[in-house]
Amino acid sequence: MRLHGVYFAVAAGSFRRYATYRIATAAGIFTNTVFGFILAYTFLALWSERPGLGGYDQAQALTFVWMGQAMLAAAALIGGGFQDELQERIRTGDVVIDLYRPVDLQLWWLTADLGRAAFHLLGRGIVPVAVGAFFFELALPSSPLVWLAFLVSVTLGVVTGFGLRYLFALSAFWLLDGSGLNMLSTLLSMFFSGMLLPLTVFPGVFGEVVRMLPWAATMQVPVDVLLGEYRGAEVLDAFGFQAVWALALLAAGRALQSLATRKVVVQGG
Amino acid sequence: MAEVPLSRGTRAGLPPAVEVPGESALARALWGVRAYGFIAAMWVRSTMVYRASFAIMLLGSFAMTALDFVGIMIMFSHVDALGGFSLHEVALLYGTSATSLGLADLVLGSFDRVGTRVRDGTMDTMLVRPVPALAQVAADRFALRRLGRVAQSGLVLCWALSGVELVGSPLTPLLLAVTVLSGAAVFGAVFVVGGAFQFWAQDAAEVQNSFTYGGATMLEFPPTVFAKDLVRGVTFVIPLAFVNWLPVLRMLGRDDPLRLPGWVDFAGPAVAVACCALAGLAWRAGLRAYRSTGS
């Protein structure tokens, strides 16, 4: 019971921490909105040449663009999030302080990341979608149940994304300078999450493989849930896909963490 | 400030006995460029200590922008033309826009750190050194790995040129080179204005991404794709259309959607000079508005 309180406090603290930087949030909203406009027009051009591409009509394709911009910061799709901070703590040795706290390292950072994501989804997500809906015809669902399913899916997506980023972050225990691998992490996420183009547009076998990878769970699946691509109980399959990846990645992170902490040596006393 | 003597070879970045120039504007500007060179060379030497890391980052920088182009190729695997432009023609737009941005990013890519420096007070250190603050901020953390981006976009540009028929005179190659360079100057000016803006709004570094990366993404696609008001905005408000749209449309023998007079296509260098002058003024104003954190 006590411990639950600790993790809740970590998440709430993280939420408030990111909420402090109001100008940065406004700057982020502005940038997401500008990119939303640019991508929306390129998608319009593509979908007017090929209506129904990837199984989306034009309004759905535009919704994909704006939801992508709304989720960009929340799901840390092109960087951001906790990994730079954790890596810096590993490099300087401050991670030792984290390790002798009576809390779990992975859960600590997971709850902190969830708090951050919650703020980013609200603070940086709502305005771009509202602007997008004002200027373009979007296919936003009217049923509150679909929105609820979307929120569940986004949460699962953030946890999956955390699982991936935690693995990359822990590499700092061995490499000290994680910037090369962070870049790789960003590259993979940008390309395989659907941020660049919906994964349903990727051709042939390559497309099929890409849609099975964990990055698909971070953005493609939540947006598809919102667009009603999963009918009825199929939503549970989508949740299942995300949950399996999330659990597998968290387990891998835990294994890597126990390997890593075994090699931490504390100097002095 | 310019008279502060430097002792012989005490600092790692500066060669021994650097002469700090007198007061004339030209001498100061030349000194700024030289100092930029010294600081950039220092950062290059420091990166080269970790060669493997540098190689990975160079490749990563190459791959990061290459993915943008892979995205465009996937689009063209479904269609033959986008906004009436073929893949090679879009590649020409992509190549010119991305090369210009890549060059500007290589030379001036550190301006998004101004806000951080204002916040933690390290901007003060820059102001007491006998080197123009603009040169120091520009050279701060100079990253040679950004050559990866330039190389990638340069390759796309060459590939595009192999597949399109350019109309025009024997001067067309010259026009292309001037276009890429003045485009880089326009993007450079945007970086500097973005840096100056952070003196007032320290946390707003992300805004400049809209105009640099966002602008470059827009210029990678033909103007026919976008709404006319948006095209008007990037022609007259932020003059990004001069970076590549207007000259490249002329080379491809296309009309520009705004039907501007023909000579405008060659206005790139003049627009670039005007942008740089405005950016210089913005930077001065920003620097004057700077109040130290006082710590």
Q: At A14, is the pLDDT very low, low, confident or very high (cuts 50, 70, 90)?
A: very high
CB of A252 closer than 8 Å to CB of A163: yes
Answer whether A59's CB lies under 8 Å from A210's CB.
no
Q: How many CB atoms lie within 10 A of CB B76?
A: 17
Contact A180 B77 (CB under 8 A): no
Put simply, whether A176 touches B (Cβ < 8 Å) is no
- What distance, in Å, lies between the first and last C-alpha atoms of chain A? 33
> Strand pairing partners for B286?
none
Q: Which of B56, B209, B227 sits opposite A41 (nearest CB)?
A: B227
Q: pLDDT tens digits for B28-68? A: 889 999 999 999 999 999 988 888 888 888 998 999 889 98
pLDDT band at residue B177, thresholds of 50, 70 and 90? very high
Q: What ipTM is given for this predicted complex?
A: 0.86
- Give pLDDT, residue A148: 94
Least confident of B40-49, B134-143, B211-220, B250-259: B250-259
Residues 6+ apart with CB under 8 A from A26: B204
Rounded to whole angstroms, the Cα distance separating A83 from A95 reads 13
Chain A residues in contact with B205 by the CB 8 A cut-off are 27
> Residue B20: its pLDDT value, please?
62
Contacts of A179 in chain B (CB under 8 A): 53, 57
Q: Which residues touch B290 (CB under 8 Å, ≥6 apart)?
A: B118, B123, B127, B199
CB contact under 8 A, A180 and B230: no
The CA dihedral of B255, B260, B262, B267, to the nearest 10 degrees, is -120
Q: What three-state secondary structure class fits B213?
A: helix
For A18-54, b/e burial (b = at least 16 CB within 10 A) is bbebebbbbbbbbbbbbbbbbbbbbbbbbbebeeebb
Say if residue B17's pLDDT is above 60.
no
**CA A196 – CA B70 distance, rounded (Å):** 9
- Whether residues B67 and A187 touch (CB distance < 8 A) is answered with yes
* Conformation bin of residue B85: beta by default, left when phi > 0, alpha when psi is -120 to 50: beta
Give me the percent of chain B exceeding a pLDDT of 90: 44
Contacts of residue B179, Cβ cutoff 8 Å, sequence gap at least 6: B96, B100, B243, B244, B247, B248, B268
Contact at 8 Å (CB) between A206 and B73? Answer: no
Residue type, A147: W
B72-86 average pLDDT score: 91
Can you give the pLDDT at residue B18? 56
Q: How confident is the model at residue B6, as a pLDDT?
A: 44
Contacting residues of B for A128, CB less than 8 Å apart: none
Cβ <8 Å between A183 and B64: yes
Q: Is A209 on the interface with B (CB under 8 A)?
A: no
Q: Strands of chain A (E only): list them.
A: none
In which band, very low, low, confident or very high, does the pLDDT at A146 lie, cut at 50, 70 and 90? very high
The alpha carbon torsion through A85, A90, A93, A95 (nearest 10 deg) reads: 70
Tokens representing B89 are 């023609």
Q: Report percent pLDDT > 70 for chain A.
A: 97
- Whether A1 and chain B come into contact, CB under 8 Å, resolves to no
Map out the domains of chain A as residue ranges: 2-262
Q: Do A41 and B225 touch (CB under 8 A)?
A: yes
Give the mean model confidence (pLDDT) for residues B249-273: 85
Using CB atoms within 10 Å of the CB of residue B228, give its burial: 0 to 12 exposed, 13 to 18 middle, 19+ buried. exposed
Is A125 within 8 Å of A216 (Cβ atoms)? Answer: no
CB-CB under 8 Å, A49 with B64: no
Instruction: Name which residue leads in pLDDT, B237 or A111.
Output: A111
**pLDDT tens, residue by residue, A159-179:** 999 999 999 999 888 887 777
SS3 B67: helix
d(CA A50, CA B79): 7
User: Distance (Å, rounded) from C-alpha B193 to C-alpha B238?
Assistant: 12
Helix (H/G/I), strand (E/B), else coil: B259: coil
Separation in Å, CA of B208 to nearest CA in chain A: 8
Chain B residues whose CB is inside 8 A of the A177 CB are 50, 53
Q: What is the DSSP letter of B82?
A: B
Mean pLDDT of B268-287: 93
Q: What is the pLDDT of residue A244?
A: 97
Provide the token pair at B263. Answer: 């000579």
Check residue B85 and report its DSSP letter: B
At residue B189, does pLDDT exceed 80?
yes
In this model, does residue A130 exceed pLDDT 50?
Answer: yes
Residue B221 near residue A43 (C-beta atoms within 8 A) = no
Nearest-Cα distance to chain B for A118, in Å, is 20
Region class of A56: left (phi > 0), else alpha (psi between -120 and 50), else beta: beta
Instruction: Give residue B201's pLDDT band: very low, low, confident or very high (50, 70, 90).
Output: confident
Quick check: B53 and A53 CB within 8 A?
no
pLDDT at B263 over 60: yes
- In Å, how far are A58, B77, B251 from B219, measured between CA atoms? 23, 21, 15
Q: Is the pLDDT of residue B1 over 60?
A: no
Number of Cβ within a 10 Å radius of residue B25: 7
Chains A, B: CB contacts under 8 A, how many?
97
pLDDT in tens, A20-48: 988 889 999 999 999 999 999 999 999 99
* B248, pLDDT greater than 60: yes
CB contact under 8 A, A35 and B210: yes
At A201-243, the pLDDT tens digits run: 998 899 999 999 999 999 999 999 999 899 888 999 999 999 9
**Cα(A83)–Cα(A166) distance, integer angstroms:** 7
DSSP B111: G
Q: Which position has the higher pLDDT, A177 or B120? A: B120
Q: Does residue A269 have a pLDDT over 60? A: no
Indicate if the pLDDT at residue B129 is higher than 50: yes
